[in-house]
């Protein structure tokens, strides 16, 4: 649809598209032409933002809370984040270790900016969240992909991981619960990773969205870690653009310098909303998690019946991979084919790395009625291919 200009910088030319957004654009175009599209591609909660969050933002606006805050973020919000991590994980962090950001993407930018020098490797799983390699490359780092497989639940195994770690490797990236796999690392698995010499960057944006067992923060096992988290997924606040990073104290000043220059601060009234989310929305979250799990159970049942389920079922986030290798070895082409033939939007596995080729990602951040309709359409189409 769009072409890169020959006048663009080499740095910008190196950024690959986020394919799920291309799928969404095409799906929206079909809808604008009057077509009925079932959206199972986008990783966005379909719930409204909880009322206490909206009320806090309205009060902030009414009170004139529309100016710059500290570049670290409001102290009350940073205190609430520290309280949350202690209440949930019994981990003590100082509010001075927290920088509030305009979503988790700026948090990633700050972290990799202070950790990476030119050419330094970052070890990450394959498959992985689609944007990770672009952040790393944009900051002149070198992504090193570790193939993680379906039979292992798409998780690092220490014996597989260690050959990818060299004396130059400074950073190991983990994502639990994971996008696109729904993987959740156990306490034992995280503890083993924490024993490595590398700094760990832990993307915990899907924490709280776990349906079997429980999630653990990397901060339970090491203080040589950077945590990325935010409000978009758990509190249905994607458009509020509010996230944060928790970091070792010695890295806060360099990251703060970057924050001051690049972003100044996160929106003031969104920060007030974040305080309400952490302190007043436990029941709202519990209700959303219960509904997500009902959808997950239904989706997995249908995928098993269709012969598409992965060997280890996902227990976190709101995604499931479907193994489509009996139908295609080109998930990009197949995802758009499914969209055109059935009006069901899914995400091609190749968006998440070469080791996810042959899969489609389904998001169950949609109603059971829509999930059923989408799977009915897909099942009929796959039957025609057989």
Q: Is the dihedral of CA 49, 52, 53, 58 positive or negative?
A: positive
Looking at residue 15, its pLDDT comes to 79
Q: Per the structure block, which two tokens stand in for 295?
A: 């959808």
Instruction: Give CA separation, 6 vs 3, 10, 94, 98, in Å.
Output: 9, 9, 47, 40
**Every domain range in the chain assigned CATH 3.40.640.10:** 51-281
Q: Per the structure block, which two tokens stand in for 113?
A: 């900016």
Omega into 386 within 30° of 0, i.e. cis? no
How many Å is the maximal CA-CA distance in the chain? 62
Distance CA 175, CA 123 (A): 12
Find out whether 225 and 93 touch, Cβ atoms under 8 Å: no
Query: How far from the centroid of its chain's Cα atoms is residue 211's Cα?
Result: 17
Angle at the Cα of 238 (from 237 to 239), degrees rounded to 5?
A: 95
Looking at residue 288, its pLDDT comes to 98
Q: Per the structure block, which two tokens stand in for 79?
A: 């205190």
Looking at residue 79, its pLDDT comes to 98
Instruction: Give CA separation, 283 vs 34, 49, 277, 314, in Å.
Output: 38, 13, 11, 24
Query: In a 3-state reduction of DSSP, which class is residue 314?
Result: coil
The owner of tokens 């503890």 is: 191
10-48+283-385 folds as 3.90.1150
Looking at residue 347, its pLDDT comes to 97
Looking at residue 10, its pLDDT comes to 81
Distance CA 250, CA 247 (A): 8
Looking at residue 3, its pLDDT comes to 57
Domain boundaries 51-281, CATH class: alpha beta
**Every domain range in the chain assigned CATH 3.90.1150.10:** 10-48+283-385
Q: Per the structure block, which two tokens stand in for 226?
A: 């950077």
Instruction: Give the DSSP per-residue string, 171-234.
Output: EEEEESS-TTT-----HHHHHHHHTSSSEEEEE-TTTT-BSSS----GGGT-SSEEEEEESTTT
Run means of pLDDT, 10 residues per run, the chain, 386 residues: 66 82 94 96 95 98 98 98 98 98 97 96 97 95 96 90 94 97 96 95 98 96 97 97 98 98 98 98 98 98 97 96 97 97 97 96 97 98 93
Query: In this structure, what DSSP letter does residue 16 have?
Result: P
Nearest Cα residue to 185 out of 152, 143, 159: 152
Instruction: Give the DSSP per-residue string, 14-66.
Output: TPPP-HHHHHHHHHHHHHHTT---EE-S-----SPPPHHHHHHHHHHHHTT--
Residue 134's Cβ-side half-sphere holds a number of Cα atoms within 13 Å equal to: 15
Looking at residue 5, its pLDDT comes to 58
Distance CA 312, CA 346 (A): 20
Distance CA 129, CA 181 (A): 9
The owner of tokens 């709280």 is: 208
């Amino acid at each position: 649809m769009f072409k890169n200009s020959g006048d663009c910088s080499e740095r910008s030319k190196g950024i690959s598209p986020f394919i799920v957004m291309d799928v969404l654009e095409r799906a929206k175009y079909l809808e604008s032409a009057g077509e009925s599209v079932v959206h199972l591609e986008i990783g966005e909660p379909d719930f409204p933002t909880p009322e206490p969050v909206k009320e806090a933002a309205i009060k902030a606006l009414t009170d004139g809370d529309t100016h710059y805050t500290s570049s670290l973020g409001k102290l009350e919000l940073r205190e609430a984040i520290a309280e949350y991590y202690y209440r949930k994980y019994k981990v003590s962090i100082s509010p001075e270790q927290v920088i509030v950001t305009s979503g988790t993407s700026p948090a990633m930018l700050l972290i990799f900016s202070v950790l990476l020098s030119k050419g330094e490797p970052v070890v990450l799983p394959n498959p992985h969240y689609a944007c990770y390699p672009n952040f790393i490359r944009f900051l002149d780092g070198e992504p090193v992909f570790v193939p993680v497989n379906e039979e292992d639940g798409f998780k690092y195994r220490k014996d597989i991981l260690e050959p990818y770690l060299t004396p130059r490797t400074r950073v190991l990236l983990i994502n639990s619960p994971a996008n696109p796999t729904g993987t959740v690392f156990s306490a034992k698995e995280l503890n083993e990773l924490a024993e490595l010499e590398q700094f760990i960057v832990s993307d915990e944006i899907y924490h709280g969205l776990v349906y079997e067992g429980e999630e653990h923060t990397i901060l339970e096992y090491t203080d040589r870690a950077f945590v990325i988290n935010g409000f978009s997924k758990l509190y249905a606040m994607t458009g509020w653009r509010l996230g944060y990073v928790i970091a070792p104290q010695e890295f806060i000043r360099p990251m703060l310098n970057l924050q001051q220059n690049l972003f100044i601060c996160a929106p003031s009234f969104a920060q007030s909303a974040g305080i309400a989310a952490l302190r007043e929305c436990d029941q709202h979250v519990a209700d959303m998690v219960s509904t997500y799990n009902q959808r997950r159970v239904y989706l997995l049942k249908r995928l098993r019946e269709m012969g598409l389920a992965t060997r280890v079922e996902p227990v976190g986030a709101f995604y499931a991979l479907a193994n489509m290798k009996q139908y295609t070895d080109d998930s990009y082409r197949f995802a758009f084919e499914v969209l055109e033939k059935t009006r069901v939007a899914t995400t091609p596995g190749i968006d998440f790395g070469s080791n996810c080729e042959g899969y489609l990602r389904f998001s169950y951040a949609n109603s059971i009625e829509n999930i059923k309709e989408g799977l009915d359409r897909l099942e009929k189409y796959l039957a025609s291919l057989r």
